Amino acid sequence: MILESIEITNIRSIRKQDIEFPSSTMLFFGDVGSGKSSVLKSIEFALFGTLVHGDLSGDSLLRRGRNTASVNLTFSIDGKKYSIKRSLSKDRKGRVSQKECVFTDHDNGTRTTYAPTDMRRKILSLLSYSVSRYEKATKIPLFRYTVYTPQEQIKEIIQADPDVRFEILKEVFGIEKYEITLRNIEIIKDYLNDKLREYKIKIEQIGEPEEDILQKEKVIEETKQQINNIGTEIKKKENKISSQEKIIEEIQKDLDIYSKKIVQIENKESNINEYKAKQRKNKSSLNKIQKEIAGKEEELKNLKEIKVKTELSEDQLENQLEKIQKLKSQKEKEIAVVKKILADVDKLLKEGKCSLCGQAIHEKDRFEKEFQDTTLKVGSFSNEIDDLTQKNNEQKKLLKIIREFQKVKNKRDSLSSLISEKRKREADLNTLIKELFEKINRNQEEIMAILSEYKITNLLKFKNFGEEIEVKLNAEKKSLNKLNSSKESSGNELSAQKKSLEYLQKELVELNSNIQLKNSLQDNLTYYSQLKNWVGEQFPILIRDIEKKILSSSAHHFNSYFKEWFHELVEDENIEVEIRTDDFQPIVYVNGYVSPFKDLSGGEKSALSLAYRLALNKIINERYQEVKTKDLLILDEPTDGFSQQQINRMQPIFEKLNTSQMIIISHERNLDSFVTDIFNFKKENHITRVTKESI
Ligand SMILES: Nc1ncnc2c1ncn2[C@@H]1O[C@H](COP(=O)(O)OP(=O)(O)O)[C@@H](O)[C@H]1O
Ligand SMILES: [Mg+2]
């Protein structure tokens, strides 16, 4: 880390001060109380924030009379430039606390705000300091012993209680980690013991799977055999079942055929019944007809015999009758005419004159004669008419007979034809009845033929035969069911055996994996007991060895620098210094005698402190190659009590340190010879002013 610049506001005696730091050896020169240390404290505050219990508390930093303060430090690490701004603020109750920090990465131009603790974490990691160790620490010894030790603490390390110093040094050297390691070893030992116990219990719990495996394999073999047996049994049963099924199929076929036959028989029976009904009907019709025939025949028989004595037909007779009638009516007309004449003549005769003309009759005789003749004629005419009337009557009688005969004849004819019609119907019915009879017979024969197929003579028996088949079928089905259920139970047994085989095999696998587990547990047990032995017995020896070696080699190194630099500063041959390698306690020999630190002169004390401090810086920087603060060394009043000669001797030491940037603080100007830049500190009205002096 190289400091680039700082802007300080309201820190201690500083109101507002900006300083640009060159990358060189600088001298901060000024009177006591001019504000030099305030700049250094500002740098430390900027990096790590307030340190509650130390000299870097917020309260001591904030300029009295002010409520806020800030420091903005710009620095570079491995050529990269960063800035940190931290600030303080006082609340109403007078409590001073840190505010948010701003971190600027100049390379990528980012500005990030952090809480003070996060800011410290960020800086620790940038500086490659242990974050976990220092993130919450109240002091940061690594920085205090390698970069900057406050003026008042520079001699503290020498005068401190040896144990306290050694603790600090161990931390600075990173040796305390070995003790932590040793403490942790105890925890690990406990852990390993637990682990060992756990493995032993686990191994015990597993028992002896090797023996169990033999037993299990035997049972598996037996189960497999059993599965085979059941398999064969099932096959046998299946064969039986299939033959039983065939039997049933056959019976079923028989039953189907039988059912068809039954249907046929029933059809025939119903045919027969139908035919019989028809027959009955026909027979009754026949009966009726026969009765009718008998009736008609009786009627026919009862018709009277009519004898006709003429050969003439009715028409001829009617013709004759008409002719007679005509003749008769002609004669009657003639007779009427004659009778008129007769009446006229009679009258004439009786009156003797003509009624018309009144003339008297002169030919009376002739009239009388004519009267007689006419009377005769009337007589003959009347006879003729009587003959005709008789004839007519006879003829009429004949006609009546003929008519009656005809009527009877017609009646007979119609009866005959009716009878013959009925006879025909009778004959038809008879044929029908006969046909039906034949049909009935044929159906019955057919039924009998079906029965004879079954060698059964009786229809009732045949009907019962179906039941017999069904009984047989059911019996066979029952035995099929039995076979099936026996096969099923064998199947169940088979699957049960298979399941148990599966289970056994799983158990076998488990046993095998248990063996593996046991072996691996045993391996672990061996490994952990070896580990425990190594961790518990050998590792601590190793750790102590390493610790000792590091310490002694550090001490050895340290001693060489310490002695050399002390002698650079103090030329007195009678004073010898060294450190105890086991606790870094500086021992001073004056004139061959061990002399306490307090008895040394002020210059000797400063020389010893500075030599010790610089040797420490050198050693730590050598040890911590990764730490980024090696380039910077700040020495606050290192030359207190030094003679000019001693001051002059510091130069080779600083050259050997070979630090890129160094700030030496002094209230004396006697260091001018080997610094490159001088900053003058002046305080006026309790305000520090810093000015860079051009050399
Ligand atoms: N919180 C403070 N507020 C104001 N002044 C302070 C505060 N703390 C210390 N001072 C004073 O600041 C001055 C500068 O002190 P310091 O930087 O230690 O001087 P030096 O140059 O001797 O190192 C001293 O006079 C000191 O009393
Ligand atoms: Mg000071």
Any idea which ligand is nearest the CA of 32? 1
CA dihedral 371, 375, 377, 380 (to 10 degrees): -170
**What is the C-alpha to C-alpha distance for residues 425 and 289, in angstroms, rounded to an integer?**
8
Partners of residue 84 on adjacent β-strands: 73, 103
Residue closest via CA to ligand 1's atom 20 equals 33
Mutate to test the pocket of ligand 1, among 6, 8, 9, 12 (most ligand atoms within 8 A of CB): 12
Coil, strand or helix: which one is 18? strand
Q: pLDDT tens, 418-466? A: 999 999 999 999 999 999 999 999 999 999 999 999 999 888 898 898 8
1-147+659-695 CATH:
3.40.50.300
For range 28-42, the mean pLDDT = 94
Q: For 48, list phi and psi in degrees, rounded to 5.
A: -115, -5
How much helix, strand and coil, in percent to the nearest 5, is found in the chain?
Answer: 65, 15, 20
Residue 264's pLDDT band (boundaries 50, 70, 90)?
very high
- The 3-class secondary structure across 595-661, one letter per residue, is CCHHHCCHHHHHHHHHHHHHHHHHHHHHHCCCCCCCCEEEEECCCCCCCHHHHHHHHHHHHHHCCCE
Q: Among positive and negative, which fits the CA dihedral 309, 312, 314, 319?
A: negative
Q: Which pLDDT belongs to residue 452?
A: 92
Q: State in Å: Cα 12 to ligand 1 middle.
A: 5
Residue 678 has pLDDT above 90, yes or no: yes
Q: Which pLDDT belongs to residue 41?
A: 93
Residues in Cβ contact with 47 at an 8 Å cutoff, skipping those fewer than 6 apart: 73, 84, 123, 127, 143
Residue closest via CA to ligand 1's atom 12 equals 13
Atom of ligand 1 nearest to the CA of 35: 17
Residue 52's pLDDT band (boundaries 50, 70, 90)?
low
User: How many residues are recorded in the chain?
Assistant: 695
Q: State in Å: Cα 640 to ligand 2 middle.
A: 11
Residue 115 has pLDDT above 80, yes or no: yes
Amino acid at 404: E
Residue closest via CA to ligand 1's atom 17 equals 35
Residue closest via CA to ligand 1's atom 18 equals 37
Contact 302, 335 (CB under 8 A): no
Residue 568 has pLDDT above 80, yes or no: yes
Residue 365's pLDDT band (boundaries 50, 70, 90)?
confident
Q: pLDDT tens, 369-419? A: 888 888 888 888 888 888 888 988 988 888 888 888 889 989 999 999 999
Q: Which pLDDT belongs to residue 140?
A: 86
Of 16-20, 171-175, 206-210, 297-301, minimum mean pLDDT range: 171-175
Which stretches of 302-363 are DSSP H helices? 314-351
Any idea which ligand is nearest the CA of 13? 1
Report the Cα 314 to chain-centroid distance in Å: 120
Give the residue with greater pLDDT, 236 vs 352.
236
Atom of ligand 1 nearest to the CA of 41: 17
Q: State in Å: Cα 622 to ligand 2 middle.
A: 28
Q: Which pLDDT belongs to residue 463?
A: 87
Give the residue with greater pLDDT, 65 vs 359.
65
For range 321-339, the mean pLDDT = 88
Tokens of 259: 């059912």
For range 126-153, the mean pLDDT = 86
For range 351-360, the mean pLDDT = 75
Q: Which pLDDT belongs to residue 258?
A: 92
Which residues sit with their C-beta closer than 6 Å to ligand 1?
A: 12-13, 30, 32-38, 60, 63-64, 681
Residue closest via CA to ligand 1's atom 24 equals 33
101-105 and 80-90 beta bridge pairing: antiparallel
Residue 54's pLDDT band (boundaries 50, 70, 90)?
low
Report CA Rg, the chain: 83
Contact 39, 143 (CB under 8 A): no
CA dihedral 397, 402, 407, 408 (to 10 degrees): 100
Partners of residue 587 on adjacent β-strands: 578
DSSP letter at 136 equals T
Which DSSP string do the residues of 347-381 spell out, in sequence order? HHHHH-B-TTT-PBPS-HHHHHHHHHHHHHHHHHH
Please give the mean pLDDT across all residues of the chain.
90
Contact 540, 548 (CB under 8 A): no
Q: Which pLDDT belongs to residue 199?
A: 92
Tokens of 667: 């209230």
Residues in Cβ contact with 470 at an 8 Å cutoff, skipping those fewer than 6 apart: 255
Q: pLDDT tens, 278-291? A: 999 999 999 999 99
Mutate to test the pocket of ligand 1, among 11, 13, 67 (most ligand atoms within 8 A of CB): 13
Give the residue with greater pLDDT, 5 vs 51.
5
Q: State in Å: Cα 153 to ligand 2 middle.
A: 11
Residue 585's pLDDT band (boundaries 50, 70, 90)?
confident
Q: Which pLDDT belongs to residue 492?
A: 95
Residues in Cβ contact with 432 at an 8 Å cutoff, skipping those fewer than 6 apart: 278, 282
Residue 364 has pLDDT above 80, yes or no: no
For range 1-5, the mean pLDDT = 97
Which H helix or E strand runs over 94?
none
Give the residue with greater pLDDT, 504 vs 674.
504
Q: For 251, list phi and psi in degrees, rounded to 5.
A: -60, -40
Residue with tokens 């830049």: 677
Q: Which pLDDT belongs to residue 53?
A: 57
Q: pLDDT tens, 67-92? A: 999 999 999 999 999 999 999 999 99
Any idea which ligand is nearest the CA of 689? 1
Residues in Cβ contact with 288 at an 8 Å cutoff, skipping those fewer than 6 apart: none
Residue closest via CA to ligand 1's atom 2 equals 12
**What is the C-alpha to C-alpha distance for residues 147 and 129, in angstroms, rounded to an integer?**
13
What is the share, in percent, of the chain residues with pLDDT greater than 70? 99
What is the share, in percent, of the chain residues with pLDDT greater than 90? 57
Residue 648 has pLDDT above 90, yes or no: no
Give the CA angle between residues 269, 275, 281 to the nearest 5°.
140
Q: State in Å: Cα 666 to ligand 2 middle.
A: 8
Tokens of 689: 């002013």
Residue 481's pLDDT band (boundaries 50, 70, 90)?
very high
Q: Which pLDDT belongs to residue 291?
A: 95
Residue 217's pLDDT band (boundaries 50, 70, 90)?
very high
| Annotated domain spans of the chain | 1-147+659-695, 303-453
- The 3-class secondary structure across 228-294, one letter per residue, is HHHHHHHHHHHHHHHHHHHHHHHHHHHHHHHHHHHHHHHHHHHHHHHHHHHHHHHHHHHHHHHHHHH
Q: State in Å: Cα 245 to ligand 1 middle.
A: 119
pTM over 0.85: no
Q: Which pLDDT belongs to residue 56?
A: 75
Residue 661's pLDDT band (boundaries 50, 70, 90)?
very high
CA dihedral 352, 357, 362, 365 (to 10 degrees): -60
